[in-house]
Chains A and B, each alone.
Chain A
Amino acid sequence: MLVPNASLDINKLLHEAGRSHDEASKTISTTGISSIRYAHPKLFSGFVFDGLERIQQQHRELLANVDTVIVVSQTFDQRIPSVSSRIQNKLNLAPDTFCIDVIDGCSGYIKALSLAEMLEKKGRKKICIVAGDLNSTMTRNADVGTKILFGDGVSVSILESDHSTLETKIYNNGDLNNVISCSAYDNVMNMHGFEVFRFTRNVVPQMIRSHLNNSKETLDSYDLVAIHQASKLIVSAICVSIKYNNRLCDDFACEKIGNLGAGSIGAWLSQASGLEKKGRLKMLAIGFGSGLSWGLASLVVEITRNEVIYV
C-alpha cells in the first residue's frame, strides 16, 4: 500500500467549513473517517513512480519478472503515454509486458482482477495491479461533504498464477443521473451521497446473495470479505444486510486513510495485521461506486507481504 506522508484532519476541515464541534463530531462518527492521506502537490504518475521505486529498494524480488501491468485510476495526470507502459520502462520489464491503463473508481479493483483472470488464461504468470487515486486533485474545490471522504493513495498488488480459481462478476447502470461525476474540464468531483448510499444498499447485498446462491456457498466459507471502504456508514449497512462481520479485521478500517477508490480494498487489507502468517485465505472482494458499477471477486490468496509504505 502506498500512501502519502501528509494527512488532513477532518475535524479541522469541517471547522473551516463552518461546522460546530458537535456537528463535526457527529459527521466523523457517521462516516468513520477522521483523517485522509494527502499527496498535494504530487500528481498521480509521480506518486506511483516514487512509490514503486521505494518498493524496488526494499523488496527488489517483488517486482522482478512482472509480465503484466494494470493501472486503475480516475486521477491520471497525463493522457499520453500511459502510466502502465512507463512503469514497464521504469522497472526494466520485458518489452512483451502487457500494459494497460483503466479509468475506473470504486469497483475498478474488481475490474482489474477480472482482467487478471482473463490474462492468466492467456499464460500471464505475474500480474502487477496498481489501483487508486490522488483524490485530492478532484476534491480540493469540491463540497466539504465530498472532500472529507476521499483520501490519496494507491494499492500495489502482485498476483502470481497458481491453480486456484478467481471468479469475478461486474455490473453497470450507466451514470444513474450523474450521481458521481467529475468533468475533465473543471476537475471537481460532485457526489450525491444520499443516492449513492441508497443505490449501494439496494444492489450490493443483493449481488452478494445472488453470488452465494449460485455458488452454493455461505459467507462463513470466506476468511475475508473485503468491502470497498466508501465510509463506515455504507460498509456497516452492507454488513448488517448480509449479516456478516470479518474475524481478521474490522469491516471498516480506513478511518485514517479515507476512500481511495480502486485502492480501497488494498487499503483495507493493509490494515489487517498478521495476514502473512495465515496461509491460504479465501477472500470475497466487493467493489461499488462510480459508473455506477458494482462487482465482486471470489479468490484464494496467500499473502506473503502486506505493508504500508509512506511516499
Chain B
Amino acid sequence: MSKISFEEFAREIANDLEIRDGQILTLDLKDIPQYDSLGKLTVSLTIENLFGFQIDYSILDKADTIHSLYEYSINRANRG
C-alpha cells in the first residue's frame, strides 16, 4: 500500500509548479498556467518518484483537480 498522504502529494506538486500549497488545493489544474506541457512533465516525474509508475499524458491532461490526480495515483499504485 502506498503511504503517500494527500497533503504530501499536494506539497510536492505545488513545489513542482512553483505555486503556493493553498492555491493548488483551490484551483482547477487547467487554470494553473504553470500546468503546461513542461509542468505536466515535471509532475509526471514526481508521480513516478512517489508512486513508482509512469503516468500517461492523457491522464495528466484530463485531470481536473489535484485531488483527482492523487486519487488516480494512489489507486494505480495500490493496484500494482
Q: Which A residues contact B (CB, under 8 angstroms)?
A: 20, 22-23, 26-27, 30-31, 145, 192-195, 197-198, 233
Please tell me if B75 contacts chain A, counting CB pairs below 8 Å: no
Chain B residue contacts of A233, Cβ below 8 A: 41
The 10 closest A-B pairs by CB, nearest first: A194-B57, A194-B41, A30-B38, A193-B37, A145-B37, A197-B41, A194-B37, A23-B33, A27-B38, A194-B40
Task: Decide: B33 and A193 in contact? CB cutoff 8 A.
Answer: no
Of the residues A23, A145, A193, A195, contact of B34 by C-beta under 8 Å: A23
What chain B residues lie within 8 Å of A197 (beta carbons)?
Answer: 41
- Given A145-B36, A197-B41, 10 extra CB contacts under 8 A: A23-B36, A26-B38, A27-B38, A145-B38, A193-B41, A194-B37, A194-B44, A194-B57, A195-B57, A198-B54
Residue of chain A at shortest CB distance from B18: A26
Residue ranges of B at the interface with A (Cβ–Cβ < 8 Å):
18, 33-34, 36-38, 40-42, 44, 54, 57
Interface of A is mostly: helix
Docked pose: A198 CA to B37 CA in angstroms: 13
Closest to A237 in B: B45
Q: Are A20 and B33 in contact (CB under 8 A)?
A: yes
Q: Which residues of A contact B38 (CB under 8 A)?
A: 26-27, 30-31, 145, 193
The docked-state distance in angstroms from the alpha carbon of A233 to that of B42 is: 10
Q: Which residues of B contact A20 (CB under 8 A)?
A: 33
Please report the C-alpha to C-alpha distance between residue A195 and residue B40 in the assembled complex, in whole angstroms: 11
A26 closest partner in B (C-beta) = B18
Q: Give the chain A neighbours of B57 by CB distance below 8 A.
A: 192, 194-195
Give me 10 A-to-B residue pairs in the complex whose CB atoms sit less than 8 angstroms apart, sorted by A's number. Answer: A22-B18, A23-B33, A23-B34, A26-B18, A26-B34, A26-B38, A30-B38, A193-B41, A194-B44, A198-B54
